[in-house]
Amino acid sequence: MTTLRAVRAVVGGAAVGLAALGVVASGARAQHEGHGTMQQPAAKTNPAAPAGSRKVTMEELHQSGGVPRGWKFALPGGDPVKGRQVFVELECYKCHTIQGETFPASGGDAKNVGPELTGMGGQHPAEYFAESILAPNAVILDGPGFTGPDGKSIMPSYADSLSVAQLVDLVAFLRGLTGGGHMHAMAPAEKTTDVYTVRLDYRGGVEHAAHEAHAGHAAGAAPGHLMVFVLDRATGEPVPYLPVSATIRAAGKPARRVNLAPMVGGQGFHYGANVTLPDGAHTITLRIGPVAVQAMPAVKGRFAKPATVVFDRGA
């Protein structure tokens, strides 16, 4: 990931973007510092919150330490196709190989070649990839392909080279590297209801496909692992004991309904099942039923209403 030409191509846009962010941040600080000391004109706002957001008062922020209750930063979803282009422009393939991709062969120094990225998307969350790109020395893995003679990471920082949008897209591309070949899965998607935050993720099943081929069976689409994370929108905490099912629909194919089981894995508690998703465009309709255990008075009735969430997956 070390090409001066590519860095120069993106640094101008990044500087403009960071400058704009600085102006917004300064205005926000000034407004917050004046809170409670002076009457401000009423702002013209739309009372309806955008999809995926929630409203909170300034008093609630102060009471919970400056952030909403249950708040946790999550990197926004990006475009993996654009992220692949960023990967190419920065010539990341000179240090990192990806099986099944058609990038030029690496011509770099073997001592400075980074780890292979094939299947890496299923091993780390998005925020870990972002930190590795912006601050590679925050976490240093000890071993060949990770550290140099000085003990620091051989990975250069791209904090001054990428715009926010480019970073988000690049991470989406890396997160899509869940199989042993070309990226086929999309980045995780997230939607909200009045009660839940629902995140859909799918990891490819390349290991299963390789086993079938080795055994002499016909090659075909390998089942992957479908994961559905259901969180309490108010607290950000996982909600267990919910009946969750997924109905998969694609043009020209019969609809398929799968019951998802509660389970714990490397990504934490989720509802999951091993399934094969169809190639091309399809929809996944999630049905969340009422909670199956007795609820305490504080939340009684909150998880009693069924919810339906539809995810459209493009080709």
H-helix or E-strand spanning residue 248: strand 244-249
What is the bridge-based pairing of β-strands 282-288 and 307-313? antiparallel
- Evaluate whether residue 165 is within a structural domain: yes
Of 184, 208, 226, which one is at a domain's C-terminal end? 184
Tell whether 157 and 201 lie within a shared domain: no
101 within some domain: yes
> What is the number of domains present in the chain?
2
Q: Say which amino acid occupies 308.
A: T
Boundary (domain end) residue, out of 146, 169, 184:
184
Q: Do 2 and 115 sit in the same domain of this protein?
A: yes
Q: Are residues 109 and 152 in the same domain?
A: yes
Q: State in Å, rounded, how far the first CA of the chain is from the last one.
A: 29
Q: What range defines the domain where residue 210 resides?
A: 189-313
Average pLDDT over residues 163-176: 93
pLDDT, position 279: 74
Instruction: Tell whether 174 and 197 lie within a shared domain.
Output: no
pLDDT at position 296 is 86
Please say whether the beta carbons of 109 and 145 come within 8 A. Answer: no
Looking at the fold, whether 20 and 147 belong to one and the same domain comes out as yes
Q: Is residue 40 part of a domain?
A: no
Is residue 170, in this structure, part of any structural domain at all? Answer: yes
Q: Quick one: 176 and 94 in the same domain? A: yes
70, exposed or middle or buried, with CB in 10 Å at 0-12, 13-18, 19+? middle
Q: Residue 307 above 90 pLDDT? A: yes
In this structure, is residue 36 part of a structural domain?
Answer: no
Q: Are residues 93 and 62 in the same domain?
A: yes
CATH number at residue 303: 2.60.40.2480
C-alpha–C-alpha distance, residues 76 and 169, integer Å: 9
Examine the domain organization and report whether 11 and 24 are in the same domain: yes
Contact assessment for residue 271 and residue 202, using Cβ atoms and an 8 Å cutoff: no
Query: What confidence tier does 76 reach under pLDDT thresholds 50, 70, 90?
Result: confident
pLDDT at 12 over 70: no
In terms of average pLDDT, the best of 6-10, 137-141, 185-189, 284-288 is: 284-288
82 Cβ neighbours under 8 A, 6+ residues apart? 166, 169, 173
Residues 49-67 have a mean pLDDT of 80
- Specify which residues 147 forms β-bridges with: 153
| pLDDT(124) > 90 | no
* Domain identity same for 195 and 180: no
Is 144 in the same domain as 196?
A: no
Q: Collect all residues with Cβ–Cβ distance below 8 Å to 87 and sequence separation of at least 6.
A: 93, 170, 173
Q: Does residue 33 fall inside a structural domain? A: no
196 within a domain of the structure (yes/no):
yes
CATH number of 91's domain: 1.10.760.10
pLDDT of residue 181: 41
Who has greater pLDDT, 3 or 190?
190
Q: Which residue has the higher pLDDT, 21 or 66?
A: 66
Confidence of residue 112 (pLDDT cuts 50, 70, 90): low
Last residue of a domain, one of 122, 154, 184: 184
Q: Give the pLDDT band of residue 73 (cuts 50, 70, 90).
A: confident
Whole-model pTM over 0.85: no
Structure tokens at 202: 């799918």
**Stretch 8-27: mean pLDDT, rounded?**
42
Alpha carbons 154 and 137: distance in angstroms, whole number: 9
Are 122 and 212 in a shared domain?
Answer: no
Residues 156, 13 share a domain: yes
Q: What is the mean pLDDT of the chain?
A: 76
Give CA–CA dist 178/185, Å, rounded. 7
Joined together, the tokens standing for residue 14 give 């990044």
Q: Is residue 164 part of a domain?
A: yes
